[in-house]
Structure 1
């Protein structure tokens, strides 16, 4: 208990310090978010990765908080995915290559003995989906960090219920690191998460969820995963439907911004959606509610996405200045 508090505090402070120290070098080297009118240095992602790995490894090496079987390998694989993401931050990398690299890393950590080959293949696909979807959430200041913190607590609760103490501690360290990052990423952001941090966090969250749910039925696992990834899924669905409608892909944060919400308001609204999904997922995992309870979250998200597609932006949002419109753009690399 005391180590968990000390580890979380260390991860939070270390991430906040590293993000501040790396901000200026990132600006000078041009490692920034590709947005018009505003350059956001991608310093937070590296800070989250380094702080999480250092604190987790320190606890394991000292024997105070051993990571346990398979958790160390999971952390190594996540670091590899983070390296791939850092490459995408430095130079343009096509999403299909990021997905392929993530799939290889995921295939190395999925517990096939408990999931079976078919379940393992589905798990790899879900991990890739979450990683790429979580990477896309970094299009609004504070959003990826806030959703990541809430999801980490949810997956950590599932891991703790399975007496996977090492995995639960790792997720608490990740949550603390993302909280330290939010000190620099809360709107208006002074540092971004970038592909490095987003892919690292997404991989840890998705892989940990697979590990915690290994051995459970497919229906209940799907319900848990739906709750944990509801914001990511809604964002992807909105992009797909908006493109099928003949327009450009529009993301959740961008759409809400055009409807008049402030950046802070967007984080609060989608944070509440993430919290609802995570709460349902944890309750399903604990057996407190039936797996069908997740249907309410899915239906609610679906109704929300369709509503966002049908509601027209207000006249004030349509007449926004070029500077504001420029800030709504997201890099597609």
Structure 2
């Protein structure tokens, strides 16, 4: 218990210091997120990865908090995903290569022997989906860090209930590292998580949740896993449906995510992050209660229904109109110039 508190405190402070230090080289070498209103340094995720790996590694090396069978391999696979994300932050990497690399890493952590091939394949795809969803969630100040902290605590409680102490310690260290990062990412953000940190966080959380639910019935596990990651999953569904209906490219960035639409409804950046954080807290709480058998099996499905209602409601918020109007106006100007010059 004492070591767990010390490890979490160390991870928080280390991540906070590393995040501040890595901001300067990110600016100097142009490792920036240019999709936002202002270019934002991207190496905050590297600070979270280093803090998590170093603190967890020290616990394993000293024997004070051994990770246990398979958990060290999970962390190593997560570091591989983080390295791939770091390459994507520094140089452009196509989304399909990121997904393929994440799938390869997931193949090493999914317990196919206990789940069977088809259930294991579903678990692998779900890990890739959640990792991608957390990367997409890094579109607003403070959002992915807040959701990540809440999810890490929730999955950590589930791991503790299954007497997976090493996994619970790893998740508490991750939550603490994300908290240290949030000191620099809360609006107005001075640095962002980037693909390195967001893929690492999503991969670690999804993989840990799969390990925790291994041995449980498939249908109930599906509900619990969705509840634990409801906000990130809802964001992906919202964006995919919205772009499909609007005829927009699926993989091309647009300001059409959850926080973007809430901003259009009048919320401040902090207000949007707090609201979505509150939604994540409620959904994660339902997932934890359902996992422990303290809530009815229908709880996670109520979360899914609520997420569906939110997605349908936010689909009505216009996010593409201004761009289309600008394109129409530009076309009209070009036509008028052609007429005048013709």
TM-score by length of 2: 0.90
Aligned equivalent of 1:257, options 263, 267, 278:
263
Q: Rg larger in 1 or in 2? A: 2
Aligned length: 317
Match of 1:232?
232
Q: Deviations over 1:184-208 (max 9, x none)?
A: 0001100100000000111100000
Aligned equivalent of 2:294, options 284, 288, 306:
288
Match of 1:137?
137
Match of 1:118?
118
Match of 1:274?
280
SS in 2 for 1:109: coil
Gaps of 5+ in 2: 249-253, 323-342
Would you say 1:155 and 2:155 are equivalent positions? yes
Q: Quote how far apart the aligned CAs of 1:35 are.
A: 2.8
CA distance in 2 between partners of 1:46 and 1:67 (Å): 21
Q: Quote how far apart the aligned CAs of 1:247 are.
A: 5.3
Q: Deviations over 1:102-135 (max 9, x none)?
A: 0000001111122111111010000000000100
CA distance in 2 between partners of 1:312 and 1:51 (Å): 40
Match of 1:6?
6
Matches within 5 A, 1:1-333: 1-35=1-35, 37-246=37-246, 248=248, 250-311=256-317
Higher mean displacement: 4-13 or 37-46: 37-46
SS in 2 for 1:216: coil
Q: Quote how far apart the aligned CAs of 1:36 are.
A: 5.1
Gaps of 5+ in 1: 319-333
Return closer, same or farther for 1:206/1:48 CA change in 2, 3 Å cut-off: same
CA RMSD of aligned residues (A): 1.6
CA distance in 2 between partners of 1:157 and 1:113 (Å): 25
CA distance in 2 between partners of 1:20 and 1:140 (Å): 19
8 Å CA contact retained: 1:42, 1:192: yes
CA distance in 1 between partners of 2:23 and 2:184 (Å): 10
TM-score by length of 1: 0.92
SS in 1 for 2:221: helix
Q: Quote how far apart the aligned CAs of 1:311 are.
A: 4.2
CA distance in 1 between partners of 2:301 and 2:54 (Å): 39
Q: Quote how far apart the aligned CAs of 1:312 are.
A: 5.2
CA distance in 1 between partners of 2:20 and 2:11 (Å): 14
8 Å CA contact retained: 2:261, 2:317: no
